[in-house]
């Protein structure tokens, strides 16, 4: 009995087509993996930057709650740094800018200050975070 075409297996042309299709799929996967790797670095920077700004804000709020003179003395100077926080992982020290709040959101009988916390890493700047501290007289 002579073998028929079905019993012979794949032809060379069919094998080449499969290899080309697998090569295209592999190139697409490699491109996606490389893209994900670059985004992980950006996400890491966002997480670290956000944590530094949050730590700075929490430090300011805790100092304000703990020390009655903190509002008038330390915040009043517009400290250029975040009260003992230092540079970390390529990020500069967070910069705090204080100003007297003059808007209508300050409760009556209280004094309010608006704080802005800015953070940079190299030439990249994060959006500043605004806080309002209230001192009840």
| Strand-strand pairing, 129-136 and 110-118 | antiparallel
Rg (CA), the chain: 30
Q: How confident is the model at residue 18 (pLDDT cuts 50, 70, 90)?
A: very high
Q: How confident is the model at residue 25 (pLDDT cuts 50, 70, 90)?
A: very high
Percent of the chain clearing pLDDT 70 (strictly above): 85
pLDDT of residue 89: 84
Q: 3-state class of 100 per DSSP? A: strand
Q: How confident is the model at residue 33 (pLDDT cuts 50, 70, 90)?
A: confident
Task: In whole angstroms, give the CA distance from residue 64 to residue 71.
Answer: 6
The sheet carrying 95-100 orders its strands as 95-100, 110-118, 129-136
Q: How confident is the model at residue 22 (pLDDT cuts 50, 70, 90)?
A: very high
| Strand-strand pairing, 95-100 and 110-118 | antiparallel
In 39-119, DSSP assigns E strands to 95-100, 110-118
Secondary-structure breakdown of the chain: helix, strand, coil percentages, each rounded to the nearest 5: 45, 20, 35
pLDDT of residue 16: 93
pLDDT tens, position by position, 91-129: 888 888 888 888 899 998 888 888 888 899 988 888 999
Task: In whole angstroms, give the CA distance from residue 77 to residue 45.
Answer: 30
pLDDT tens, position by position, 55-95: 888 888 888 888 877 777 766 555 556 767 778 888 888 88
pLDDT of residue 31: 80
| Residue where the block lists tokens 């390529």 | 90
Q: How confident is the model at residue 20 (pLDDT cuts 50, 70, 90)?
A: very high
Under a CB-based contact definition with an 8 Å cutoff, are residues 56 and 96 in contact? Answer: yes
Q: Where are the domains of the chain?
A: 12-136
């Amino acid at each position: 009995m002579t073998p028929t075409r079905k019993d012979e297996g794949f032809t060379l042309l069919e094998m080449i087509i499969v290899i080309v299709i697998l090569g295209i799929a592999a190139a697409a996967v490699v491109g996606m993996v490389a893209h994900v790797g670059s985004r992980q670095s950006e996400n890491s920077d966002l997480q670290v930057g956000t944590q530094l700004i949050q730590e700075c804000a929490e430090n300011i709020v805790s100092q304000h709650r703990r020390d009655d003179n903190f509002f008038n003395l330390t915040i009043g100077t517009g400290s250029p740094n975040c009260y003992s926080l230092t540079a970390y992982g390529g990020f500069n020290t967070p910069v705090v800018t204080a100003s007297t709040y003059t808007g209508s959101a300050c409760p009556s009988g209280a004094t309010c200050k608006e704080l802005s916390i800015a953070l940079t890493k190299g030439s990249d700047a994060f959006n500043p975070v605004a806080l309002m501290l209230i001192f009840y007289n």
